[in-house]
Amino acid sequence: MIKVRVPATSANMGPGFDSLGIALNLYNEFEFREIDKGLKFNGIPKEFCNENNIIYQAMNYCFKKARYIFKGIEITVLKQDIPISRGLGSSSSCIVAGLVGANEIIGKKFSEDELLQMAVELEGHPDNVAPALFGGMVVAIMENDKTVYNKIEIEEQIKFITIIPNFRLSTEEARKVLPNQISREDAIYNIGRSALIISCFLTKKYDLIKSACNDALHQNYRKELIPHFDNVYDKSYELGALGCYLSGAGPTMMAIIDIGVKSFSNELKKYLASKEIKWGVLELNVDNIGAVVIEGDCK
């Protein structure tokens, strides 16, 4: 029996489209067991209990890479705290968990870097799977079909206020609204801010995050799919946010605040209630560990 915990992730962080992401302390937990025959699922909706299940697909991908022949697999979702299709890396958590679980079954044949490469091959881009696997803030790019990455550990001086709408938004739908081409001006705009936001976290100059997390490639297009986006965005800054951005493809919004700010979440909840905006608000910290195999019972 193998138990794996994987953190939620927030990708892009404003300007870092498909290349920047951070892990947060909200988790999905899974259990894997090799059985005598067949494919068995627990804690998963019936329509996903088949060979197309993303967790199983990841496990099978790893097994094939290792040329490992298995008789059967039992997959259990013990806890699913990461909301589905909200821009918090739910599908990436399943991919990473399946790969880590399979790798444990075969005796840790693959390194973490090799698991990352497999995860990117399955997911298509590294911005969520890299922090889900390694924790912290991860910058990851593709170079000659290989993933090149660098992890930055984040000190607990800031919190991430996760503002979760009460509806789903698929990545596929959110990508459809993006332009096929961008201007040189927009490219320069994002290059500078991507560099700046990384430097903000490295040097702890969090007062610069407001300018750094602005974006010209995806956020202005995707916000049209999210009612109340502008109002909540503006209110976050009014309440003292250091930065605010669309998490991944959305619809979740992320506000970065100083750890010393105590009233932000309550005031934001009051505002949402006053406008009858039925969104959830969570205070999260950075997870610097990433995916782990848990000994004993999951907590």
7-52 pLDDT, tens digit each: 999 999 999 999 999 999 999 999 999 999 999 999 998 988 999 9
Report whether pLDDT(296) > 80. Answer: no
Q: What is the mean pLDDT of residues 263-275?
A: 97
Percent of the chain with pLDDT over 70: 98
Domains of the chain: which residue ranges? Answer: 2-153+287-294, 158-284
* Per-residue confidence (pLDDT) for residue 89, from 0 to 100: 95
List residues forming the annotated binding site: 83-93
Report percent pLDDT > 90 for the chain.
91
2-153+287-294 against 158-284: fold identical: no
Nearest to 61 by CA among 29, 100, 35: 100
Provide the pLDDT for residue 299.
35
For residue 295, pLDDT over 80 is answered with no
Candidate from 4-8, 104-108, 205-209, 259-263 with smallest mean pLDDT: 259-263
- Alpha-carbon distance values, 167 to 83, 84, 130, 204, 252 (Å): 10, 10, 26, 34, 9
Question: Before 131, cis peptide (omega within 30)?
Answer: no
The whole-number pLDDT of residue 145 equals: 87
pLDDT given at position 156: 84
Instruction: Give the pLDDT of residue 250.
Output: 94
- Give exposure, 151-177, as e/b (b: 16+ Cβ within 10 Å): beebeeebbbbbbbbeeebebeebeee
Question: Average pLDDT for residues 261-287, to the nearest whole number?
Answer: 96
Which CATH fold would you assign to the domain 158-284? Alpha-Beta Plaits (3.30.70)
Residue 241 pLDDT > 90:
yes
Per-residue pLDDT, 298:
39
Residue-averaged pLDDT of the chain = 94
Quick: pLDDT tens for 134-185.
Answer: 999 999 999 998 999 999 999 889 999 999 999 999 888 999 999 999 999 9
* pLDDT (mean) for 197-219: 95
CATH among 3.40.50.300, 3.40.50.970, 3.40.47.10, 3.30.230.10 for 2-153+287-294 = 3.30.230.10
Binding positions for ATP: 83-93
